Amino acid sequence: MASASFVVKPKVLSSSPWIGHRSFANNPSPTRRVSFAIRAGPYSDELVKTAKTIASPGRGILAIDESNATCGKRLASIGLDNTEENRQAYRQLLLTTPGLGDYISGSILFEETLYQSTKDGKTFVDCLRDANIVPGIKVDKGLSPLPGSNEESWCQGLDGLASRSAEYYKQGARFAKWRTVVSVPCGPSALAVKEAAWGLARYAAISQDNGLVPIVEPEILLDGDHPIERTLEVAEKVWSEVFYYLAQNNVMFEGILLKPSMVTPGAEHKNKASPETVAEFTLTMLKRRVPPAVPGIMFLSGGQSEAEATLNLNAMNQSPNPWHVSFSYARALQNSVLRTWQGKPDKIEASQKALLVRAKANSLAQLGKYTAEGENEDAKKGMFVKGYTY
């Protein structure tokens, strides 16, 4: 393990009321000496290789890690009961789509799905591997109210995470996802930001110790009527805290992936931002906060319409970036699939074609070559749900 020492000046106290007039790193001494250790664990080379594989040109992540309850809501939208059989059938439809690996490099699974198989007995993990898609796993245990905050939440799941991660690795998972959220209308409070950043950092360190590339995801919710400038302010603060604690926990930046929200106005703001504006604000934030050592930025869609998420991603790839800028979409890849499938066996092939249409569109957007020509009206419908939970 190598280490380096740096002289760090104290942070200036913020005058912004949303962080409570306090710095998270106040120190009474004029300077302090900090040692940052660079981890050189047994999985280092594998972590870097996995991250680079996922962050490969023209490919992104298919997120199908919804909890059983949330998957049940999706199934209910097409008139299906929330049974394990129906969840298995839907995920088999997605994961056995021919040619999916041309556009998808990784897929995030829920724990149930990681251990499931097709009707013919082939594990979903093997289906993904055969398609050159890296299997991933959702490891957090969901959100819970954060005492002492402005009605905000914190993410659970650190207890037992090391042993669970080791088991997920044995089952074939090679990357992990932990989603926490930050609410702009609720402040956010200094407590909530610090809790989100620290939890993500501990999760990331534990994941790397067990061979899993951690996806770091502090989702800044779309809820609110705030302007895009406010979102930028909050995003910069959140990501500065996240990387501060990632460094404190000796997380290897070359072996992580990020899953940020795009910087957009609140969903209820009177003015909608163009893809060019979203790209400008989002890339500004990333360039100010994210080291170039990070291999990939895999954006979440967060309730944007399918077409909107693709257009915004495309706008961000009109010039070279320090990192692979791509997608990790759930609803923005699945919505058309569900509408086409309707739970009918004779609609499986058409549903898989619908998935490939969305996957290819986002593949082109990752390359900066997407045009919205030919997009149907359904793809332009927003999917924002106030207070949405997974």
What rounded mean pLDDT belongs to the chain?
A: 89
Q: pLDDT by residue (tens digit) across 8-55?
A: 333 433 434 444 434 344 444 455 554 555 554 789 999 999 999 999
Task: Note every long-range contact of 334-341, with CB atoms under 8 Å and residues 24 or more positions apart, other chains counting.
Answer: 334/64, 334/74, 334/94, 335/306, 335/378, 335/383, 336/306, 336/378, 336/379, 337/93, 337/94, 338/74, 338/77, 338/78, 338/90, 339/78, 339/378, 341/78, 341/90, 341/93
Label residue 111 left, alpha or beta by phi (over 0 means left) and psi (-120 to 50 means alpha). alpha
Contacts of 224 (CB under 8 A, 6+ apart): 183, 184, 185, 266, 267, 268, 269
Token pair belonging to 371: 């045009």
The CB density around residue 41, as the number of other CB atoms within 10 Å, is: 17
Identity at 142, one-letter amino acid code:
G
**Mean of pLDDT values over 368-372:** 91
The predicted pLDDT at position 41 comes to: 76
**Interval 308-334 mean pLDDT:** 96
Residue 107: pLDDT over 70: yes
pLDDT at position 37, please?
A: 54
Cα 33 from Cα 355, distance rounded (Å): 52
* Chain segment 136-174, per-residue pLDDT in tens: 999 999 999 999 999 999 999 999 999 999 999 999 999
Where are the domains positioned within the chain?
Answer: 43-369
Of 228, 244, 150, residue with least CA distance to 194: 244
Task: Tell me the C-alpha distance between 227 and 104, whole Å.
Answer: 33
For a pLDDT cut of 70, what percent of the chain falls above it?
A: 85
Q: How many CA atoms lie within 13 A of 357 on its CB side?
A: 19
SS3 5: strand
**Model pTM score:** 0.86
pLDDT over 80 at 59, yes or no:
yes
What is the distance, to the nearest Å, from the Cα of residue 369 to the centroid of all Cα atoms in its chain?
23
Query: H-type helices in 249-328, by residue range?
Result: 275-289, 306-316
Say if residue 207's pLDDT is above 80.
yes
The pLDDT value recorded for residue 268 is 87
Residue showing tokens 């002492």 = 148
- Residue found under tokens 């999760």: 203
CATH topology of domain 43-369: TIM Barrel (3.20.20)
User: What is the per-residue pLDDT for 376?
Assistant: 65
CA distance 49 to 201: 21
Q: How many angstroms separate the Cα of 116 from the Cα of each of 91, 124, 257, 313?
A: 9, 6, 26, 32
Catalytic residues: 217, 259
Q: Which of 191, 278, 156 is nearest to 229 (CA)?
A: 278
